[in-house]
Homo-oligomer: A and B are copies of this chain.
Amino acid sequence: MLPPLRVLETCVYTKDLDAAFEFYSEVLALRLHSRAPGRHIFFHCGQGMLLIFNPDETEHAHPDEIPSHGSRGSEHVCWAVEREDLPRWRSQLEKHGVAIEHEQTWENGARSIYFRDPAGNSLEFATPRLWENDPD
């Protein structure tokens, strides 16, 4: 049995979609796909999507029959960024007043920078080969 090709949709949840829109569009520079005020914001990222939902609107069955979901708490999403772009991302976070919570150098030489979105989700920029044995 071959696995799926890749993750196509990664989700985070927040009640403050306006703050999320500003953060993910301006700080992370994600390309907007669509918004449904009060319910969701969808962004493109690489070959996939980041879907941001208000759990109050998605945790109950919906008339369009799309299955319910919705979680609360701090989630974690990591984005791949090129090593040579890390200084640019540090500047971008600083420019927008986003604190760097932690930096990490992994055993294989990969680098990570951790920060938070306005909802408190734990976000990470990591060099692309973090999960491989060879450094990048």
A residues with a Cβ closer than 8 A to B are 1-11, 13, 28-31, 33, 42, 44-51, 53, 55, 59, 65-82, 85, 88, 92, 101-102, 104, 114, 116, 121-122, 124-126, 128, 130-131
Going nearest first, the 8 A-B pairs with the smallest beta carbon separation are: A6-B46, A71-B73, A4-B79, A9-B78, A69-B122, A8-B80, A1-B29, A69-B76
- Interface of A: prevailing SS: strand
A78 touches B114 (CB 8 A): no
B50 touches A76 (CB 8 A): no
A6 touches B47 (CB 8 A): yes
A67 touches B101 (CB 8 A): yes
Task: For A78, give its contact among B7, B45, B75, B85 (CB under 8 Å).
Answer: B7
Most B C-beta atoms less than 10 A away, residue of A2, A44, A46, A70:
A46
